[in-house]
């Protein structure tokens, strides 16, 4: 399976900047052997889809579990699909820790993504206190356990392991840390454990190849380093150089 190189732009890049990004985003031709995914803000989704010059899939950063209704400010999985999204990030660390999203809500969103035919990219990861207290495995099993049953109705999905202490801090998990956590996620997924498991948290062009070469790491979910087209192209090239597997 080709490595997945995904960029989560968070609340950055409006439509005009998005078009400018794709004018300058020119990874080497061999980077065609990675699966590129972009998660722009919803308002930039159409600009991204319309201006990407390389094969890439697009997704949204969050969905609500209802299909429609009086829910000001929310978007549904069905709307995202209609607007051209193929994937949806669900339960990102910032959704969980800044906006108070719960395991139960994450589970409902996974179900909604499946119903609409979106590929859920479900995020899990421990806080630094949990890691220091030796609770990594317990936390990951709890988080995966909360949505595992809903994956039964989903055709395709991914999990992103993003240790909260490594997000936006410049502190990266070592390849061994990532492998250890990914193996726990796979085990917790049981019979569904062959799905891609991505690593996220301060990925950059210097550490991307080592992380993607680590056992059980199927790709990367990149925040800050995905915002610059030249920098993100180098991460895509690193994934292509590592090759499938
Ligand atoms: P950074 O790469 O900026 O640490 O963000 C990681 C992330 O949250 C991707 O979803």
The pLDDT value recorded for residue 29 is: 72
> Which atom of ligand 1 sits closest to the CA of residue 221?
9
DSSP category for residue 25: -
pTM: 0.97
The pLDDT value recorded for residue 32 is: 74
Ligand 1 pocket check for 87: Cβ under 6 Å: no
Average pLDDT, integer, range 111-123:
97
Active site residue 13: no
Ligand 1 pocket check for 168: Cβ under 6 Å: yes
Nearest CA to ligand 1 atom 5: 223
- Separation between Cα atoms, residue 77 and residue 120, nearest integer Å: 10
Predicted confidence (pLDDT) per residue in 70-87, tens digit: 999 999 999 999 999 999
Predicted confidence (pLDDT) per residue in 31-58, tens digit: 779 999 999 999 999 999 999 999 999 9
- Paired tokens of 89: 């990030």
Give the pLDDT band of residue 187 (cuts 50, 70, 90): very high
Ligand 1 pocket check for 222: Cβ under 6 Å: yes
Ligand 1 pocket check for 27: Cβ under 6 Å: no
| Summary mean pLDDT of the chain | 96
Average pLDDT, integer, range 188-216:
96
Backbone Cα Rg of the chain = 17
The distance from CA 136 to its chain's CA centroid, rounded to whole angstroms, is 20
Q: Say which of 92, 105, 182, 237 is annotated catalytic.
A: 92
Q: Say which of 13, 162, 182, 237 is annotated catalytic.
A: 162
């Amino acid at each position: 399976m080709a490595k997945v190189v995904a960029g989560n732009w968070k609340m950055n890049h409006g439509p005009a900047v998005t078009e400018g990004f794709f004018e300058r985003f020119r990874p080497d031709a061999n980077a065609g052997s990675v699966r590129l995914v972009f998660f722009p803000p919803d308002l930039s989704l159409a600009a991204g889809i319309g201006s990407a010059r390389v094969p890439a899939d697009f997704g949204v950063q969050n969905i609500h579990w209802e299909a429609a209704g009086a829910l000001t400010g929310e978007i549904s999985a069905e709307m995202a699909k209609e607007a051209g999204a193929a994937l949806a990030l669900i339960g990102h660390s910032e959704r969980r820790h800044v906006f108070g999203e719960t395991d139960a809500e994450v589970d409902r969103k996974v179900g909604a993504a499946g119903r609409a035919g979106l590929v859920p990219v479900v995020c899990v990861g421990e806080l630094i206190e949990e890691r220091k207290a030796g609770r990594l495995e317990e936390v990951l099993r709890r988080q995966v356990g909360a949505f595992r049953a809903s994956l039964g109705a989903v055709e395709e999905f991914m999990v992103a392991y993003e240790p909260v202490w490594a997000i936006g801090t410049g502190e990266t998990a070592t390849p061994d840390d990532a492998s250890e956590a990914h193996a726990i996620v796979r085990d917790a997924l049981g019979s569904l454990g062959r799905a891609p498991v991505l690593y996220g948290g301060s990925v950059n062009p210097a550490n991307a190849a080592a992380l993607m070469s680590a056992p059980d790491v199927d790709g990367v979910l990149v925040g800050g380093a995905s915002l610059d087209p030249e920098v993100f192209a180098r991460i895509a090239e690193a994934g292509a150089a590592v090759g499938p597997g």
